[in-house]
Amino acid sequence: AQTVTQSQPEMSVQEAETVTLSCTYDTSENNYYLFWYKQPPSRQMILVIRQEAYKQQNATENRFSVNFQKAAKSFSLKISDSQLGDTAMYFCAFMNNNAGNMLTFGGGTRLMVKP
């Protein structure tokens, strides 16, 4: 079974600053995906970024990037130039590629972007 741990229940950042959210996971699998999902106050969960475990290059999506350390089983999310609209719950999630599309989630980090 996989586990996903987010050690920061809450974080805050000033608008335009950079913030990094931490995530670690535990698995014996070698073929998997990692995700960051965002849940704003509207409750609509949306995908922020995805990383395939077999790819060494870190994924980036505009202001969002990850630091994927496979050996350390670490998958952090960096948000650059933070905006007020980034205020949300952020969930790290794991998917075993050999077990369908089921996601295992971390406990979440509540991020507040301050003006």
Question: Which of 28, 72, 101, 115 is in the footprint of another protein by CB under 8 A?
Answer: 101
Helix (H, G, I), strand (E, B) or coil at 32: strand
Residue 107 C-beta: closest distance to another protein, Å = 5
Distance CA 48, CA 35 (A): 7
Q: Is residue 4 close enough to count as binding another protein by CB under 8 A?
A: yes
Q: Is residue 84 close enough to count as binding another protein by CB under 8 A?
A: no
Please give the residues from 22 up to 41 whose contact with another protein meets the rule CB under 8 A. Answer: 33, 35
Give the 3-state secondary structure percentages of the chain, helix then strand then coil, rounded to 5: 5, 55, 45
Comparing CB distances to another protein, the nearer of 43 and 115 is 43
Distance CA 37, CA 30 (A): 22
What is the binding site for another protein (CB under 8 A)?
4, 6, 9, 33, 35, 42-47, 50, 91, 95, 100-108
